Structure 1
Amino acid sequence: MRHTLPIAPQFYVTAPQPCPYLDGRMERKLFTALQGEQSERLNDTLSKQGFRRSQNVLYRPSCAECSACLSARIRVADFEPTRTQRRTMKRNADLRRNATSPWATEDQYALFRRYLDSRHADGGMADMDVFEFAAMIEETPIRTRVVEYSRPAEPGEQGRPLTAVCLTDVLDDGLSMVYSFYDPDRLHQSLGTWVILDHIQIAREAGLPFVYLGYWVPGSRKMGYKAQFSALEIYKGGRWHPIGDPNSHESTLHPLSVDPIAEQVARIQLPDGLSGR
């Protein structure tokens, strides 16, 4: 018997597990497979509704009693760097950018391991081996790039050492920064901020209106840096809003603060021809 992929995406929910951002809370995700000829259209459409890609899956938080995680993006045309960010741009002016196809290398994995061991040794990716890393980079059904940044060699070094890397999806309305990592011995260079600033420049040159940063979580120190970028929008209540005062957003923790899964799925807008309705 011949089997074909379903026309309408099927949505599922993960089992609860400890939240990586807020202590004492449990995380749950709503997700769907990203596969078939319509992968790019589905990714473009759901990214505008707070979803993120991880390999061949699109997901967004759907916790039972918490709605703290808010998808964030920068309006490129309205972005103005702060004085501190301008200093970061000047400090990293000698970095060379190389955007290439999504192919994992030994240099990338070595930098990735140093980054995790130094910055996220107790995180969910801490045990990722080279094969899992390659899957993270290479398993993508959409238009994806690996953006590498290298610095000038110091005495005794050869070539231009790899300093930062970002796995980046190209959407119809912007760049989505899937995952980035950098040299943990160069914290003074603010490389995480620099990579975002450079992606804003790439998007501006390409005429793309947004840079998607993933999730901003009020009350999470890990995610607080995203609120430092001007022209930041958050996806809340089914639409995008300017973030305004970051301190005005409270993490909601209440059984009635999150709609049932069936209602959430019913409100998801799908590309024409994929709704199954």
Structure 2
Amino acid sequence: MTSLKNIKFYATQPHSCSYLSGKDATTLFMDPEKPLSQALYSRLADIGFRRSGHHIYRPHCSGCKACIPARIPVSEFSLSRSQKRNWQKNQDIDITEHTPEFSHEVYGLYERYIRSQHKDGDMFPPSVEQFTGFLVDSPDYCCFYQLRINGQLIAVAVTDRLKDSLSAIYTFYDPDHGKRSLGRYCILWQIMKARQLGLKYLHLGYWVKGCRKMDYKIDYKPMELLINNHWSRLI
């Protein structure tokens, strides 16, 4: 097991919380000078850290435990009725794996998605620099899964492959295909992909108690939540 003893971590000053209105947040970052191997990141993911570009972070808020790391044990996952309908609806989609890199096609989709879905978020307005730093500047165990219909790019699922899991970093999609619920489909597809690869989990980032935008994550069951440094099953 990769040791964490000699790694430095730094806490930010309190800043406005991205998830809960009126709350301040503090974030713990791993030393950016430390090389991020797949083994190290796998160990950090197991204790609740996430990746954004080359930055590894975890919420570190005093007096607040609302952000809870969530993962799906993929071998035990079963589709609900609505998930079965979503899965069948999207069987005409072609999915291919690509190295993270900038292209006008992929960035154009990202820009449309942010402008349509996240006008009130801290990622608005989108820019090439933001997109590159957030998603393109990724380690070599990251990939862009591109979803297409008749050759048209409709979604990208940015995914890390770790030692025994996949980690869903970010998904963006064409807002004109809203009826397909592509965000939900991408999670289902990543669950099935992890199972196909013989991996144990799909990491979904944080379920944020009290944030309606994050409620969709607990629709995927069984779900495991990291509470008091122990993964606990949510049935």
Query: Could you tell me which residue of structure 1 aligns to residue 229 of structure 2?
Result: 238
Query: Could you tell me which residue of structure 2 aligns to residue 217 of structure 1?
Result: 208
Residue identity matched to 2:170: Y
* SS of corresponding position for 2:97: strand
Cα distance, 1:174 vs structure 2: 0.6
CA distance in 2, matches of 1:241, 1:34: 30
1:52 counterpart = 2:43: no
CA distance in 1, matches of 2:51, 2:140: 10
1:10 counterpart = 2:8: yes
Query: Could you tell me which residue of structure 2 aligns to residue 262 of structure 1?
Result: none
Query: Could you tell me which residue of structure 2 aligns to residue 171 of structure 1?
Result: 162
Residue identity matched to 2:79: P
Query: Could you tell me which residue of structure 1 aligns to residue 186 of structure 2?
Result: 195
Residue identity matched to 1:20: S
1:122 counterpart = 2:113: no
Look at both structures and tell me which one has the larger radius of gyration over its CA atoms. 1
Residue identity matched to 1:116: I
- Bigger strand fraction: 2
CA distance in 2, matches of 1:142, 1:33: 19
Contact 1:39 1:142 in 2 (8 A): no
Number of aligned pairs?
A: 231
* SS of corresponding position for 1:208: coil
Flag the 1:8–1:147 CA change in 2: closer, same or farther, 3 A: same
Task: Flag the structure with more relative contact order, 1 or 2, with Cα contacts below 8 A and sequence separation at least 6.
Answer: 1
- 1:67-82 pair list within 5 angstroms: 67-82=65-80
Residue identity matched to 1:22: L
Residue identity matched to 1:89: W
Contact 1:35 1:141 in 2 (8 A): no
* SS of corresponding position for 1:9: coil
Query: Could you tell me which residue of structure 1 aligns to residue 109 of structure 2?
Result: 111
Query: Could you tell me which residue of structure 2 aligns to residue 133 of structure 1?
Result: 131
Flag the 1:100–1:90 CA change in 2: closer, same or farther, 3 A: same
Q: 1:143 aligns with which of 125, 141, 148?
A: 141
Structure 1 stretches lacking a partner, 5+ long: 1-6, 153-159, 245-277
Taking structure 1 as the reference length, the TM-score comes to 0.80
Residue identity matched to 1:163: I
- Runs of 4+ that moved beyond 6 A: none
- 1:247-258 pair list within 5 angstroms: none
CA distance in 2, matches of 1:96, 1:235: 34
CA distance in 2, matches of 1:34, 1:82: 41
* SS of corresponding position for 2:231: strand
Residue identity matched to 1:23: S
CA distance in 1, matches of 2:97, 2:136: 14
Taking structure 2 as the reference length, the TM-score comes to 0.94
Structure 2 stretches lacking a partner, 5+ long: none
* SS of corresponding position for 1:222: helix
Flag the 1:189–1:131 CA change in 2: closer, same or farther, 3 A: same
Q: After alignment, is 222-231 or 26-35 more displaced?
A: 26-35
